[in-house]
Amino acid sequence: MDPACLQHQVTDQERTTFERDGYLIVENAIPQSLVDRLVPIADRVDRQERDRMGKSPEARINHYDFVGKDDAYLELLDCPTTFPKVWGILGWNIYLYHSHLDVTPNENAWRQDWRVAWHQDASYWPLTPSKAVTCWLAIDDADTENACMRFLADSHHHGHLTWRKSSPEEHNTLDQSVENAEQYGTPVDNVLRTGECSLHTDLLLHGSEAN
C-alpha cells in the first residue's frame, strides 16, 4: 500500500457529508498522467467488445468486470486518494465485488432514447447486510450535456425501496424502476471533471438521462 494513503484518510466533515447525503465527491482523485494511460485502454476494450457483441458505435454500453482487463486499471484498487476514504467508510474487511466501464457515446445523439431509471445498487447485488460503496471515476468530463449520473440526495435514509420491472416504454438500459422516486430525495447532478471521483452508498437512488 502506498504510504500516501495516510494523507487522504476520510475526515470527520467528509464522513458527515457521506452519511447525510449518501455520496461524497473526491476532487483530483487521479492525475492527468494516469488518465492519459487509462483512456486509450478504455477505447481499445470498447472497440473490441462492440465488435464481439455486434453493438453500433452510438449504443450505450456497460463493460462488466472491466478492472481486470489491464494492469493499469488494477492500480485504481488501492489508489491513495480514494482507497482510504472507502476503508474509512466501510472498515478494513472489504473486497471488490463488481466493476464496469460505462460508455455513453454522443454519435447520432438525436437517435438515442435510452436512460438509466432511478435505482439502488443494493437491489442488484446479493449482499447481506447491505453495505457497499460505489466508486465512480470520470476519465472524461461528465456533466448535464453528456448524461452525467444524478443522485437523489438523502434517499438512502429510506432503506431498501420497493422496485418493479421496467417497461419497454421507459427505455431503461437496466431493468428496475422505483415508482415516484423523486419523493425520496433531492435531485443532484453528479458533475465531475476528468480525474474526479464520486463515492455513493448502495442504498442511494441514482440514474442518468440520455447523452
pLDDT band at 104 (very low <50, low <70, confident <90, very high): confident
Q: Quick one: pLDDT at residue 107?
A: 58
User: In the block, which residue shows the cell 448502495?
Assistant: 202
Instruction: Tell me the pLDDT tens digit for each residue of 3-23.
Output: 878 889 999 999 999 999 999
pLDDT at 95 over 60: yes
pLDDT band at 130 (very low <50, low <70, confident <90, very high): confident
Instruction: Tell me the pLDDT tens digit for each residue of 56-81.
Output: 887 778 888 889 889 999 999 999 99
